[in-house]
A and B are shown apart, each in its own frame.
Chain A
Amino acid sequence: MNEKQYDVVIIGGGPAGLAAGLSASQHGAKHILVVERDRELGGILQQCIHNGFGLHRFDTELTGPGYAERYINMVKANPSIDVLLDTMVVDLAPDKTVIVINSVDGMQKIIGKAIVLAMGCRERTRGAIRIPGTRPAGVLTAGAAQRMVNMEGYIPGQQVVIFGSGDIGLIMARRMTLEGAKVLAVFEIMPHSSGLTRNVVQCLEDYDIPLHLSHTVTAIHGTERITGITYAEVDENLRPIVGTDKYMDCDCLLLSVGLIPENELSRDIGLCMDPLTGGPVVNQERETSLPGFFAAGNVVHVHDLVDFVSEEGEIAGHFAARLAQGEKSLSAQIYSVVPGHGVRTVVPQKIKVLAGEQGAAKLYLRVTETQRKITLSVSSGGQTLLEKRFPVAKPGEMIVLDLQAAHLDKIVGDIIVEIKR
């Protein structure tokens, strides 16, 4: 088998992987490889033809392909970065050996000094949420529908119901409407949308598409193509309330019921995983529990904004490059970051406090439920490191807290992130 060596090998050519590649180059890595399974770089951005990308990063509003293009052009112009397209990683080993396959070179063995995992996420399916009923054509995840509509040019239905109010579902409600389909309703089992507020407004309200919160789809009907669904209100335990079920005709059901970090490779090499995020446990340098393996983007935790994905990719690429160049890590203390009252997830899950000079660290967190006028607190050993007030906090919108070097110096034990009562 063909064998190649690289400083940094990046698995996934979406926004996290592209940013990691550029950042690794900026931080001195000379031989960088990005492995992408699709026919072009950019990942899921390529099917997100709506605008709203890059407000933080480029201070302008871009489409998904437009955002991707900026990174792709920088990667293509960078002589240190090689790209393998249409290439699947078939095996990853803890010794940083990556086996890849494509139709041009067959199987190749690639050895990296550092590896960045940037595989993104996949959609939760009908089976995972156990919607009863038949299994007709016309039931698909919103992302699969998005690919077919935006990249291949085919519509999956004309009378559409959407279950789940994740961002892709909201975006597809508008997209299907613009393509001439009638979007009859969006059902969301939770009492709040799991998508961004701006998407609820711009994709549903602007088009008079009803959003039914605290409702679930209880059955799918139709033998060949879907002919309708049954939906019902749910109680506080998310169980359908008997007697509230109603029938609705439709010829398509799109599911936007959650995203799952794509971590089969991470599990293969035995990385320590966070059951709350579904991604690997990382420190603020995005290094995982296995030295030399970094992770960034939706593979770590599902983001709302690509800008933050790029930012995480940069962090991972930066530290992967330093490790690949043989930089010895200084002696450090490792502390755990623990989500406390009202907080569902926090990334990074570990903070490395160096003996010498500190860098800064950003905490990306999600709250458990929508709350107004809250104060988020970060504390360690009973001492408050940071407090910040928010007019509103929603589970669908990730919150970022900046920890400065001075904060890190004060860490003496577990770091608790919580909403002050």
Chain B
Amino acid sequence: MQSRQKVDVAIIGGGIVGTAIARELARYKLEIMLVEQHPDLSMGTTKANSAILHAGFDAAPGTLKAKLNVRGNQLYREMQEELGLDIKLIGSLVVATDEEGLVVLLQLLERGRQNGVPGLCILNREAVLEREPQLAPATLGALFAPTGGIMDPFGVTLAFAENAVRNGVQVLTECKVEKIEVSDGHVVGMHTSQGFIEARFIINAAGVHADDISHGAGDRSFAIHPRKGEYMLLDKSVGSFVRSVIFPTPTKVSKGIVIAPTVHHNTFVGPNALTIDDKEDLSTTADGLAAIVVGARALVPSVPLSATITQFAGLRAVADGDDFIIRPATGVRGLIHAAGIQSPGLTAAPAIAEMMVDILRTEGLSLQAKPSFWPDNPARVLFRDQEAHRKQKLVAENPLYGRVICRCEMVTEADIVDAIHRSCGARTLDGVKRRTRAGMGRCQGGFCGPRVIGILSRELNIPIPAVRKDTAQSFLFFDKIRGAREVEDHE
């Protein structure tokens, strides 16, 4: 069999879980490869979720969700500085608007204490409204979690990936796994769209597709039932009308419609929860958006929904049994699942990675620490975040810092060029958007879109019709108009 590559560990899936595992395993003397089917990392559940750092009071004590949420929260806080992660501990509130809700708060408080969540307390009506004056007048009290916060899921995923690459991990995008090859009850590798990859261990972090990967290897022990959540994002011009992450009291299927600031000064509302069959269905619906509006107004009646700049949907990878599935496969040695990673998976990811290392060790992988491990990444300079004198210096060194491409988010051409050429760099329009925020503002790429497309074409040395929006076939433009010449001073 023709092997393209031979590695110790292959990781399937370039979301938050796969990249966190890659980064954790990069501490050891191992050959590691991470494969992602899309042109960019962070393209599945990781790109469309609530972007919340959960404190850890939701999950039932004793579950993996409970344990890994609290541990993950702690790990993020520890690695925030080292990896330059965009995390803000703004605190979270679960708001009760009726007597029943107050009872639920007490249950959550008790649950949180059992789970080991630090600093939880119940705030009375006055204290809640003092903290969040926009909340509904019906507010009776809230559970406050000081370790609740918000984060940038793409940024964190890319930071993990970049650090993994810095420490020797190979990342292969547009590499779709077709089948896992099993011999004598042990995985030997996987067939992919880029050839066969020989691997002693395969980690299944394929998100909503984790069951397909598992079934293909002969393990039918679980299935994933995608549960869609829709969101609305509000422009930053509405300001921070809420300071904390605001949850309603939860229901059985979901934590309810949340209102929270984002690390980039927008505000989002959502998600609803709808179990669906189609793993590609990221469509928003009129009914779904209407439900979000109702839920948001119940929490904050004055929520300025007219400032909506975009809507999107994400899929939660919900497994049978509702808990995370982090264990060796059933009946196939060498395949380890990190599956069913729905909320609070984003928060749990670093703890899932720690757990995965332990599982691999138990399964017989020899782990020797690498003396040369780099815990941090090269500093990333975004023009808009710099002081005035530093900006001046940047333009003097590189004139492309003086050319603002996206005015809404103040992104310069140099920022975009850097986003393309860094390790795990952007290959698509949305890839540039996720790394720099160009196109994420109120004009949604109306001004900068054509300019970013031009820069991608130039920097990747591909024709404009080959520039894609996000997925493999999402080409933005057709061929050149007959007779038209390339614009000479094209940006």
Contacts and interface: CB of A to CB of B under 8 A. Distances in A.
Interface of A: 1, 37, 39, 86, 88, 90, 101-107, 122-123, 125-128, 130, 132-138, 140-141, 143-144, 147-149, 151-158, 179, 218-221, 223-225, 240, 264, 267
B404 A154 contact: no
B454 A152 contact: yes
Nearest to B487: A152
B443 A103 contact: no
A153 B284 CA distance: 32
Interface string B391-423: 110011001111110011010010000000000
Given A122-B446, A127-B308, A135-B312, A106 B475 contact: no
A77 B283 CA distance: 54
Interface of B: 232-233, 237, 280-286, 288-289, 308-312, 388, 391-392, 395-396, 399-404, 407-408, 410, 413, 443-447, 449-450, 453-454, 464-465, 468-481, 484-487, 489-491
The 9 closest A-B pairs by CB, nearest first: A153-B484, A103-B402, A127-B310, A103-B399, A106-B395, A88-B404, A137-B469, A154-B477, A137-B474
Nearest to A140: B449
Contacts of B445: 144
Given A123-B446, A141-B446, 8 more contacts: A107-B395, A126-B444, A132-B284, A137-B474, A144-B449, A148-B450, A152-B490, A154-B480
Contact of A125 (B400, B446, B491): B446
B223 to A, nearest CB: 22
**Chain A interface, DSSP helix/strand/loop, else mixed:** mixed
Contact of B392 (A106, A140, A218): A106
A122 B443 contact: yes
A179 B395 CA distance: 41
A127 B311 contact: yes
Contacts of B443: 122-123, 125
Nearest to A251: B478
A240 to B, nearest CB: 8
A128 B309 CA distance: 5
Nearest to A133: B283
Given A39-B491, A152-B464, A154-B465, A136 B308 contact: no
A132 B474 CA distance: 19
B476 A137 contact: yes
Contacts, number: 146
B450 A132 contact: no
A102 B469 contact: no
Contact of B404 (A101, A106, A127, A221): A101
A90 B388 CA distance: 11
A16 to B, nearest CB: 17
Contacts of A218: 286
Contacts of B310: 125-127
Contacts of A126: 310, 444
A152 B485 CA distance: 8
Contacts of B490: 152
Nearest to A151: B487
A135 B282 contact: yes
A103 B400 contact: yes
Contacts of A136: 469, 474
Contacts of A1: 388, 392
B463 to A, nearest CB: 9
A156 B476 contact: yes
A251 to B, nearest CB: 9
A225 B474 contact: yes
Contacts of A107: 388, 391-392, 395, 402
B473 A154 contact: no
A225 B475 contact: yes
26 contacts: A39-B489, A88-B404, A103-B395, A103-B401, A122-B443, A122-B446, A125-B446, A127-B311, A127-B444, A132-B285, A132-B286, A132-B288, A134-B281, A134-B282, A134-B283, A137-B469, A137-B475, A144-B446, A149-B481, A155-B478, A224-B469, A224-B472, A225-B473, A240-B286, A264-B237, A267-B237
B289 A106 contact: no
A132 B283 contact: yes
A179 to B, nearest CB: 6
B487 A155 contact: no
Contacts of A39: 489, 491
Contact of A102 (B285, B391, B403, B476): B403
Contacts of B454: 152
Contacts of A122: 443, 446-447
B288 to A, nearest CB: 8
B396 A158 contact: no
A343 B400 CA distance: 47
B468 to A, nearest CB: 7
Nearest to B312: A135
A36 B280 CA distance: 43
A39 B477 CA distance: 22
